[in-house]
Amino acid sequence: MSARAIAFKVLVQVERVGAYLGVALDAALRSAGPIPRQDAALATELAYGVARRALTLDAAIAAHSKRSLKKLETAVHVALRLGAYQLLFLDRVPEHAAVDETVELVKQQGLARAASFVNAVLRKIAADKTIPLPDEPLERLSVAESHPAWLVRRWAARFGPDETTALCRADNEAAPVCVRVNTTRATREEAAAALAACGVASRPTALSPIGLLLEEPGPLFNLEPFKKGLFQVQDEAAQLVSMLAVIEPGMRVLDACAAPGGKTCHLAERLQGKGEVYAVDIHERKLQRLETEARRLGIEGLVRPRAADASRPLPFAKGSFDVILLDAPCTGLGTLRRHPEIRYRRVEGDIARMAGIQATLANNLLRYLKPGGSFVYSVCSMEPEEGEQRAESLVDQGLSLAPPQTPGVPWSEVTTPSGTVATFPHRHHSDGFFGARLTL
């Protein structure tokens, strides 16, 4: 299967059934079997690029189409976006290849009747690459950088227009492949050397002392260092969340809402072979994948998966955990680089709705924290209602904010005046996260 066909298949799944882009792409690359690294890279660029630029691409398509976009079949609409993305954003792709191969994709999908329409629209875009934009500044930014208008307005009120522009542009940059080194099996330098032996260059992360940024690695599951459990894929900002927790060997730790398991595994690695991390998640199937990851990393003996709803009473004694981590369900608006499809699925009311869920989870989990224990709260969102205001609410309930203290992290670069931790894509070149450590 060609790179374009893989991207097309994935994007149709995203549109038709609400699939998550990263999950669908990973499955498609696996099912495609061994393919050249450059083909996997092109499929990834096309899938993510189209998802990031959907509003911009639709503006260009609408300007050159006599048909309403709302009336197009999903596969035809996706094909037009795929072709338009290559014409407008990929200089290295010849125009004739972008047009002809997109038309061929449409025919292969049994939509030959739409082939001439797709061909005509794409040839018009190739001849006139001007993208029509609204006159109003924030609406113009919304279309130009493909972010929903409500989110652009919200960020502009908080950050101002210039920083909002920088944030939107950062969201549209390709997120680097970031991994956390499994320090029970290798140092950062040893993991980098193992990757180099496979032809994969890497460089250290700026904030996390155990992170690596990989350059054009291709599918990671094919790499020997991955199979040996030398690292786990995890954004740099997410690595900092686990480092907020003060972990000592022998501790009893609870990771609520644990799937997909990056933070669970990181916490287990930090126990140095002594202690246990109870990984609670409402989805048993996700816990099975978490167990598979723990085995690959060699820490399965420290991880205790439990399928349960963390908003309800849990099968643990009250006051029995030294550390509780709540990486709460959230809007995910800090991860638009990695999950670009989320920006089109969220509405502004989701922020308050998620804040209510987060409060319920925190209030329930606090019952299981030992006196003097620490509670780490985090979300992959930059919205105050989900982050800073949640931390303030916990302080109002009697907890105390504690400054981050795990060595090796330049905490001053990400610590707010209140003592919480916040990262932003345009400032830190990472996902947008909020984290706070509180003590009881």
Give the residue numbers marked as catalytic.
Answer: 380
CA–CA distance, 298 with 291 (Å, rounded to integer): 10
The single residue listed with the structure tokens 């696996």 is 30
* Cβ neighbours, 10 Å, residue 300: 17
374 in Cβ contact with 438 (< 8 Å): yes
Element (H, E) at 107: helix 95-108
Partnered with residue 253 across adjacent β-strands are 277, 323
Taking the C-alpha atoms of residue 231 and residue 132, their distance in angstroms, rounded to an integer, is 45
Cα gap 172→164, rounded to integer Å: 13
Give the β-pairing of 177-181 and 231-233: antiparallel
Q: Whole-angstrom Cα distance, residue 244 to residue 322? A: 14
Secondary structure letter of residue 147 according to DSSP: -
Instruction: State the Cα–Cα distance between residues 231 and 210, nearest whole angstrom.
Output: 10
Give 142's contacts (C-beta < 8 A, 6+ positions apart): 55, 134, 148, 149, 152
Spatial CA neighbour of 335 closest among 390, 378, 286: 378
Which residues, 6 or more positions from 233, have their beta carbon under 8 angstroms from its beta carbon?
177, 178, 179, 180, 220, 262
Cis check for the bond before 34: say yes or no (omega within 30 of 0): no
* b/e per residue 301-319 (b: at least 16 CB within 10 A): ebbbbbebebbeebebeee
d(CA 282, CA 307): 5
User: Distance between CA 259 and CA 229 in Å, rounded?
Assistant: 18
Q: How is residue 372 written in tokens?
A: 């003097």
CA 400 to chain centre: 30
The answer to whether 321 and 372 have CB atoms below 8 angstroms apart is: no
